Structure 1
Amino acid sequence: MDPKQELTSVDIAALVTELRRYTGAKVDKTYRYGDDLLRFRMRDFDRGRLELLIEVGTQKRIHTADPDHVPDAPERPPNFAMMLRNRLSGADLVNVEQFEFDRIMILSFERGEEMTRIIVELFGDGNVAVVDSAGEVIQSLETVRLKSRTVAPGAQYEFPDSRVNPLQVTYDRFISLMNESDTDIVRTLATQLNLGGLYAEEVCARAGIDKTTQITNTSDKIYRAIYTALESLGTQLQSGDFEPRLYTDDDAVIDATPFPLEERKQQNLDVTTYDSFNGALDVYFREVDRNPAAEESGQTRPDFAAEIAKKQRIIEQQEGAIDDFEQRAEAERSRAELLYANYELVNEIIETIQTARAEDTSWDEIRETFAMGAERGIDAAAAVVSVDGAEAMVTIEIDDMRVPVNVDVGVEKNADQRYTEAKRIEEKKEGALTAIENTREELNAVKQRRDAWDREDAKPDTEDNADNTETVTDKVNTGTEPSRMGPTDDEWLSMTSIPLQKNDDWYEQFRWFHTSTGYLVVGGRNADQNETLVKKYLNKHDRFFHTEAHGGPITILKASGPSEPAEPIELTAETRREVAQFAISYSSIWKEGRYADDAYVVTPDQVSKTPESGEYIEKGSFVIRGDRTYIRDVAAEIAVGIQCADETQVIGGPPSAIADRVPTMVQVRPGRYAQNDAAKLAYREFRNRFADESFVRKIASPDKIQEFLPPGGSDLVDE
């Protein structure tokens, strides 16, 4: 019996009831682990420290956790966690709710006048969206652009289509839904009423009804019994009258439920009682990864056919959405052209209504006037299909096409609104095109994983393979040029198990890279780091680089480490250009979408924090005195790669400096993809190139790649 990996709608309803007891708790910090797990550390004034875990990957869950068992904080918080900290540190939890009866939980936080909602989607591929008080998505773990809905930064959050809520449905609606079915009661409850299999069986058991009874053999008495059981279930979930249970089989966890279930009782499972459903889920998910069943299933071949079919279905949906956007945009342009082609008729309608409203004529009277005019054969009146006084809109029909018209503005403005709507739809189409390309890449990645699995299965002697891998690993060079003395680039990419090696270096808190001549370069990520770099790390023989444009990082070419004796730098033209390219790429030049600019270099004694008399220097800025050496027309371009020898880590910087240090890299220029989307594209590219996908997941998650991407839009460049 397989343990459940995802919470049901009933589970979420129970959790909402329990978590509402923590309203008023204050957020201390937020953390992100890997791609899918979030942790909210909070303080409840009655109960003390509170840990809330949210996971939306293979496991989909949300529950409080024992503080002694939460994962250690990551050494460096990824960007998503930093964004959450900026919005939520010190915020109060003010509400917890479930969207209809869907597997969606909404956590509302308030800090001063600022409201933030965390919308947790525990269905499908899973997602977490951070939404402001106006309903606009600030950031989400995944970008979703489908025909039915969009979840993307800057867009209004869109919930999935509404589903039947079995706990709130009226009796008449309940009977109607049940009678639409041609199967038995339990399947009808599971599908038509959205209860799912387990709780459909539970409702039948509570009602004392044979779950296999065909709908055609039901009666009002049976329906009444089932409906009463549904009402009882709803009341129990809202009141919090729970008796949480943890079910195990031979010490392997199988399920955690908010109350005892007849179905589980009939399976003769071992049962443990808990004081809270959150507590039961905490133990359940802590143990589920250690289940013998889970361990065994983890060794079986993935269902590649199902994954491929799923990706192909998504592509079909996205293709349909693109076709729909094209048709809608074309229709809006046609409406605009119809307004201009029938200018006098439309203008007559608008002026008639404006005159009537100026004389305080009611909308009902206006509607009646148009109806009578249509009967008399007046063209303008006959064109009016409907009148909406609440929105000050009329709908007119010309050449079998209906066009909404705002009567508060003229024909030109109405036509412009149609053109604007066409443009907005076309922008959504562009998003859908990006999404479909991403899905196609994911589909190719699944196929490559399948092919790699097939190749592994075809190998005749696994022990020989292990020996070969070990031999390659032994060749890892500890010198400065791993690609020459260790495995070749192709060998790194084809290795099925790459050993992890990592040191913590002082400069990793900043932006950094090593030049192709071996010098360390560090740059500030913000004004505070700019100040720190100059005051603490700028030494006698270093070099100070900056862009001509305002808004660039302080960039220092280090002659030595912080505690090492410094010697003069041999500043070659190649080194100078690499550092200049680094300074330009992480400056405002990139945000503005420009592809090149100038930078300059000076010595440390030319850098001062003392302004001229009467002037003021902003935090993170400095005064440069004396002559500057310029590096002209430097391209804004960086590369990101995965270093395998000496240290296993993501590195980034000028392509010429990165190329010899990694077996493969992606090059990036200013472009259209948001920083987090570009990071995901690069991550998928690396997963396609490396045979050891687990190595890529551990070393080069999208968040780690994003740390090396410039702020602003980016495009991946074909090498």
Structure 2
Amino acid sequence: MDSKRELTSVDLAALVGELGTYEGAKVDKAYLYGDDLVRLKMRDFDRGRLELILEVGEVKRAHTVAPERVPDAPGRPPQFAMMLRNRLSGADFAGVEQYEFDRILEFVFERDDGTTRIIVELFGQGNVAVTDGEYEVIDCLETVRLKSRTVVPGSRYEFPDTRTNPLTVSREAFDHEMDDSDTDVVRTLATQLNFGGLYAEEVCTRAGVEKGLDIDDADDDVYDRIYEAIERLALDIRNGNFEPRLYFEGDDGDEADGDDESEGTDAGDGPVVDVTPFPLEEHADLPAEGYDSFLSALDDYFFRLELAEEEEPDPTDQRPDFESEIAKHERIIEQQQGAIEGFEQEAEQLRERAELLYAEYGLVDEILSTVQGAREQDRAWDEIRERFEEGADRGIAAAEAVIDVDGSEGTVTVDLDGERIELVADRGVEQNADRLYTEAKRVEDKKEGALAAIENTREDLEDAKRRRDEWEAKDAASDDEDEADDEGPNRDWLADPSIPIRENEPWFDRFRWFHTSDDYLVIGGRNADQNEEIVKKYLEPGDKVLHTQAHGGPVTVLKATDPSEASSSDIELPESSIEEAAQFAVSYASVWKDGRYAGDVYAVDADQVSKTPESGEYLEKGGFAIRGDRTYYRDTPVGAAVGIQCEPYTRVIGGPPSAIEDRTETTIELEPGQYAQADTAKRLYRRFRERFEDESFVRKIASPDRIQHFMPPGGSRIKEE
């Protein structure tokens, strides 16, 4: 008997009641693992920490789990997880409902600034859609574009067509559905009444009706017994009359006691096959274990199922798990780096806002003086807000800049050049600017603490790597010829059932990067800040700088040497590497985003690039001045591919197809297309999982978020798809 991997509609109907007892719990944080598992960390004031798991991949489930069983937090949170955190942090869990009798759960969260609904689809390919209170989709794990329904960000969420709910069906409607069938009783219950196979058989057994009875031979007595069995089942679910059971695979020829689900026996030693909210007569011959709640039974079931599917460890291998230790430190470093980047961006944004106040001094002073004068005349805050609104209608610039007036906080929010800045109304321009500068300094102090912490973590990482290398050096002497061959270049990684994770953290990983066919490093900026950093910090004599003729693209640097090596202007870079760098520059620029297939790129030497503008000119952030002749690469074709590398490290890489094909075990080529970047990344992720025997390996090192890290901006599609 195959183990159940998806919750049924009956399971969800029973689950809703128990989950509802946690109403009022507050959300602390949200996480996304891979592209199909969402975890919500919450606090219930009566029962403490609460962990909710929503999985919509090959396993489809929704239930609470014991805190000690939650997976370690992933690295830098992807955009979907950050969106959830922004909308749910501090929100109250307001309830959960099952949509009709479908395998759809709708979780509702309330916060002062609005309602958020998380709609979990536990059927088909599975999906998690996040909507506002009016069901407008904020984001979703999978976009759905069908004739019958659409689920895409920015649109109204559309539920599937309504189906018959057997738990609320009237007798008249029940008779109609049964009469409308042309098959046997059990199939009619499974399809027309939407019970599914197992519970259709259970209803027949409880009703004492032969499963294979042709519907034409079913009389009123049969209908009566079936409808009564359905009503009893529905009544148990509505009243929460549950006796949850975990069922195990039984030994051939053995039968469990029919009156007490094998508690106290060795039932729990075999593989789990099912979990139900109450005992099933269909499982009467299976060993079973009782539980106090359906949630705890679900937690135990899926925990045991996951353990059973993990590969048994080799008892003769006593090697410490260096990879897990190293991966843990690397995850921490990634999180710390994300925090540092966040502090840098926040501090820079605060300083820019302060500078904006001075740049618009007259306008801001007029706004603050107006508010202060009105308050001195004892005018109400609501009246002040109305006066600003009236002024904006008349086209008064100062009034048009006011976005909000908050009397409870004594603040005025203004819009200056697209930046929203909150002003303390009873202070002047200088005091408000000084407050922002002070806050920026405080944030930078937090950055210094994070830098110290990351150095400690790096030391722990290096120590783990050193111990691993010492172990491997000692063990290498005992390796025989066959093992050496197995680890050699002829190893079939795609067919390998268990690929070891070997990751590293190169200094250039936060930029766009690839290695050319001639093994030269190419780096490019992801934004204006990184463009600025690359030119100021990493551009050295001998390097080539490439940029698209069209506006909007990364500063692309073809490195002649590594930053740790002595730079040299005598190195002659191969033309093939320059051409690949040119293709990289054009592919990760606005050319691709605009749906074009070629663009012009120019190349210059490092000494032709300057951050000092000509007299009377101005360089914006990320910009630079070029002096001297340029070498043009006209009509350079776009080209990008993403692949999975297994040697010497296990990781996702991307770049021009000619540069990465020989470095990866498998590659997928892209071209400009209509699919959003996140959607295409999910398509690639599924393709890679299909190609590798070890699907868990792909999940660990090639999540959609990591794949997206190497994709060109804008729409894409798989080439020749």
Further displaced range: 585-594 or 632-641: 632-641
How many equivalent residue pairs?
A: 531
Deviations 1:630-686, CA, capped at 9 Å, x for gaps: 544343322333334322322111334324433554433323333244445555666
CA shift, 1:514, in A, is 1.8
Residue in 2 that maps onto 1:272: 290
CA shift, 1:627, in A, is 5.2
Give the alignment's TM-score, normalised by structure 1: 0.62
Aligned equivalents of 1:186, 1:204: Cα separation in 2: 7
Q: Which amino acid aligns with 1:640?
A: V
Residue in 1 that maps onto 2:341: none
CA shift, 1:513, in A, is 1.2
CA shift, 1:188, in A, is 4.3
Q: Which amino acid aligns with 1:280?
A: A
Cα gap change, 1:233 to 1:493, in 2 (>3 Å): closer
Residue in 1 that maps onto 2:42: 42
Aligned equivalents of 1:284, 1:668: Cα separation in 2: 41
CA shift, 1:283, in A, is 0.8
Structural mapping, 1:615-654, within 5 Å: 617=620, 621-622=622-623, 624=625, 629=630, 631-633=632-634, 634-654=636-656
Aligned equivalents of 1:202, 1:246: Cα separation in 2: 16
Aligned equivalents of 2:565, 2:495: Cα separation in 1: 39
Q: Which amino acid aligns with 1:708?
A: F
Cα gap change, 1:222 to 1:690, in 2 (>3 Å): closer
Structural mapping, 1:368-517, within 5 Å: 472-476=485-489, 487=490, 501-517=502-518
Residue in 2 that maps onto 1:443: none
Q: Which amino acid aligns with 1:598?
A: V
Matched position secondary structure for 1:667: strand
Tell me whether 1:713 sits opposite 2:715 in the alignment: yes
Q: Which amino acid aligns with 1:590?
A: W
Unaligned runs of 5+ in 1: 297-466, 477-486
Residue in 2 that maps onto 1:596: 599
Q: Which amino acid aligns with 1:259?
A: F
Cα gap change, 1:535 to 1:282, in 2 (>3 Å): farther
Deviations 1:145-176, CA, capped at 9 Å, x for gaps: 55544445666544333211012222322233
In the alignment, which of 654, 661, 664 is matched to residue 663 of structure 2? 661
Structural mapping, 1:165-176, within 5 Å: 165-176=165-176
CA contact (8 A) 1:544 1:604 kept: no
CA contact (8 A) 1:543 1:603 kept: yes
CA shift, 1:130, in A, is 4.0
Tell me whether 1:60 sits opposite 2:56 in the alignment: no
Deviations 1:253-282, CA, capped at 9 Å, x for gaps: 232222344444x325232223x3222111
Give the alignment's TM-score, normalised by structure 2: 0.62
Matched position secondary structure for 1:289: helix
CA contact (8 A) 1:138 1:153 kept: yes
Aligned equivalents of 1:48, 1:540: Cα separation in 2: 60
Aligned equivalents of 1:715, 1:522: Cα separation in 2: 24
CA shift, 1:54, in A, is 2.0
Deviations 1:568-593, CA, capped at 9 Å, x for gaps: 57363544443343233222222112
Cα gap change, 1:683 to 1:474, in 2 (>3 Å): same
Residue in 1 that maps onto 2:273: 254
Residue in 1 that maps onto 2:305: 288
Aligned equivalents of 1:44, 1:534: Cα separation in 2: 51
Cα gap change, 1:29 to 1:11, in 2 (>3 Å): same
Residue in 2 that maps onto 1:439: none
Tell me whether 1:17 sits opposite 2:50 in the alignment: no
Cα gap change, 1:191 to 1:639, in 2 (>3 Å): closer
Residue in 2 that maps onto 1:312: none
Aligned equivalents of 1:693, 1:221: Cα separation in 2: 52
Aligned equivalents of 1:609, 1:94: Cα separation in 2: 57
Structural mapping, 1:91-130, within 5 Å: 92-109=92-109, 116-130=116-130
Cα gap change, 1:530 to 1:31, in 2 (>3 Å): farther
CA shift, 1:57, in A, is 2.8
Aligned equivalents of 2:720, 2:286: Cα separation in 1: 59
Aligned equivalents of 1:716, 1:621: Cα separation in 2: 31
Cα gap change, 1:90 to 1:512, in 2 (>3 Å): farther
Cα gap change, 1:658 to 1:3, in 2 (>3 Å): closer
Structural mapping, 1:176-255, within 5 Å: 176-181=176-181, 188-200=188-200, 202-203=202-203, 209-210=208-209, 227=227, 229-249=229-249, 250-251=267-268, 252=270, 253-255=272-274
Aligned equivalents of 1:260, 1:593: Cα separation in 2: 58
Residue in 2 that maps onto 1:670: 672
CA contact (8 A) 1:591 1:670 kept: yes
Residue in 2 that maps onto 1:551: 552
CA contact (8 A) 2:639 2:670 kept: yes
Cα gap change, 1:162 to 1:243, in 2 (>3 Å): same
CA contact (8 A) 1:184 1:211 kept: no
Tell me whether 1:520 sits opposite 2:505 in the alignment: no
Residue in 2 that maps onto 1:586: 588
Deviations 1:181-211, CA, capped at 9 Å, x for gaps: 57776554444322234434555676x6556
Matched position secondary structure for 1:193: coil
CA shift, 1:34, in A, is 3.6
Structural mapping, 1:78-97, within 5 Å: 78=78, 80-82=80-82, 84-85=84-85, 88=88, 92-97=92-97
Deviations 1:110-149, CA, capped at 9 Å, x for gaps: 5665655433222233333444566555554445555544
CA contact (8 A) 2:643 2:654 kept: yes
CA shift, 1:103, in A, is 1.0
Aligned equivalents of 1:96, 1:86: Cα separation in 2: 20
Give the aligned CA root-mean-square deviation in angstroms: 4.4
Aligned equivalents of 2:696, 2:481: Cα separation in 1: 19
Aligned equivalents of 1:255, 1:493: Cα separation in 2: 32
CA contact (8 A) 2:560 2:571 kept: no
CA contact (8 A) 2:543 2:605 kept: no
Q: Which amino acid aligns with 1:234?
A: A
Cα gap change, 1:124 to 1:659, in 2 (>3 Å): closer
Cα gap change, 1:602 to 1:567, in 2 (>3 Å): closer
Deviations 1:72-117, CA, capped at 9 Å, x for gaps: 2233445554554565555554442212101112234456656554
Aligned equivalents of 1:135, 1:611: Cα separation in 2: 54
| Matched-pair identity in % | 56
